[in-house]
Chain A
Amino acid sequence: MITKSILPLPVELDRSRLSLLHCRLLVVDDDLPMLRAVTKVLSRAGAQVHSASSTAEAMQLMADPDFGFDVVLTDLRMPVASGKFILSLIKSTHPSLPVLIMSAYWTPEMKDECTRLGVAGCLEKPTSSRQLIQAICRVLQGERRPDADGEN
């Protein structure tokens, strides 16, 4: 699902759009309209977005060595396995891959637990596209540097 063109969003995104350019994202959400909307918004911001509507699908995409994701954005509450499960799985297999979790409802305990598991950021639904993109940019800027340093 690679973008055809980069279209401007009705927010000043010039800087953030640049940084989302060519970055590979995995979006996981069981709520299809939300998944579609997030995918479209991020695609417009220039990212290569892959979407999964379940944990199993996400795991499949993750296992594929062709995809090296930069950031994973997942919903928290999903049937079968939650976003927390994805987070802990990713942290055990790809410890350096930043994971953002989105939820309609955060309890302080849940936030604490996710922080303990190493989440890169907690987002609250509903979110505007600007907030969404800014959050991802922040994570990319914060997380890419140590990675790059490691490779060098």
Chain B
Amino acid sequence: MEVAKMVLKHRAAAITLASALTAAIGALDYFTGQECQVVALYLLPVSLVAWVAGRKLGMVFCLLSACTWLAAEAGIGGIHARQSSLLWNALMFLTVFLMVALLLSALHDVMNSLERRVRLRTSQLREEMTRRHDADLARLRAERLAQVGAMAAQMAHEVRNPMGSISLNLDLLACEVIELARAMPSSLPHDQEEALSLVDQIRSEVERVEKVMQDYLGFARLPKVVPTPQALHPFLDEKLALLLPELGAAHVRMVKTYDPTLHTVNIDVVQLWQVLLNLALNARDAMPQGGVLSVTTLQEEDRSLIQLSDTGCGIRPEDLSQIFTPFFTTKARGTGLGLALAQQIIAEHDGELTCHSILGEGTTFTIALPRVREVATSSLKVRASGSAQTFTPCSTPPHDHEIHPSPAC
């Protein structure tokens, strides 16, 4: 079985075998002295070669077989009167061999091309299936988020109305406490403070509920992304500066490394800022002891990358595949919606948000934004490079500048 498979696969093996067979049949022909009885056997090597090695070699073998037969016959009978009939017979056999060889090689070609088409189609189908699967997943996720939004919009009325009256009543309660203390000077100031601190505690819990509600409403409110061509570096400089106090308080240092060849990209400024804010605050939370947040831009062939890397605790490998799933969170007070929203926003930009993390070493989030379409680029590029130079002169010559928040870690 193995030998047969090998012979069918390797031309050299097949040709060797076929040659040996031809010689053996020729010998058989010669020694048995039968005139035409074994001639059909020659078809064996011929078909083998025609099948494995193709049409040309098959035809060569037809000729070889016919000659071998002729030689064997000639050897048996000597050169005698039936020479012409022998030659005639040889020619006839040659024709038969040739037909068989051609037929077989043609069949083989058809089979091969069919097989190739099947293979091609299978791989196409597989690709299509993965693509559809990915698209389905993305759609499902988007639908799920939209449902969260729709539900949140509905819930908002049910939750925020009572929250509204609780919030106002708390203010009133605080007034009453102060009034009461004023009316009864005999009561201890400690009681008043205690009562006011209780009011404050309730108020902070109201704010907490409100924060959760805001997270959920993020999806309901998510307006259509309206991208406009922007030079990324001025945008990043402006927005990241807003984060410095927050990061400084957490002893996080920000290091910016810009790629001066960065193209203009189409972004929705408000929504991309949402994403950056989310990623940066996550990075801060991942570094409770302080650390470094690196913001890096990179220009690739057809996309622009913004990378945010922290030197924090990293994400466990089993959590990594889940981080963009709505409601997945590892934070005690998280809603699990931040990264899902971020990914949704980047997807709406036709971009990609990916995460790479090493436990204990840090996490890198990469925002990949597609290149602005060709039609628009020529004019925009000129404007972009111009504005980049005038807007942030510092961002072009030194590619690396650091910002140290006051208490350096």
B-contacting residues of A (Cβ < 8 Å)? 7-11, 31, 33-34, 36-38, 40-41, 44, 77, 102, 104-105, 107-108, 125-130, 132
Contacts and interface: CB of A to CB of B under 8 A. Distances in A.
Nearest to A32: B165
Contacts of B174: 9-10
Given A10-B174, A44-B175, A37 B157 contact: no
A8 B175 contact: yes
B171 A127 contact: no
B401 to A, nearest CB: 38
Contact of A9 (B161, B171, B217, B223): B171
B164 A125 contact: yes
A31 B167 contact: no
What 3 pairs between A and B have smallest CB-CB spacing?
A104-B160, A125-B164, A37-B168
Given A33-B162, A105-B160, A105-B220, A11 B167 contact: no
Nearest to A132: B168
Interface residues of B, number: 26
A132 B167 CA distance: 11
Interface string B155-183: 01101111111111101101100110000
B178 A38 contact: no
Nearest to B158: A104
Given A105-B160, A125-B160, A44 B167 contact: no
A10 B179 contact: no
Nearest to B200: A10
A40 B220 contact: no
Contacts of B165: 31, 33-34, 36-38
B172 A44 contact: yes
A126 B167 CA distance: 7
B153 interface: yes
Interface string B216-255: 0100110100000000000000000000000000000000
Contacts of A125: 160-161, 163-164
B161 A104 contact: yes
Given A8-B178, A10-B178, A105-B157, A126 B171 contact: no
A107 B222 CA distance: 9
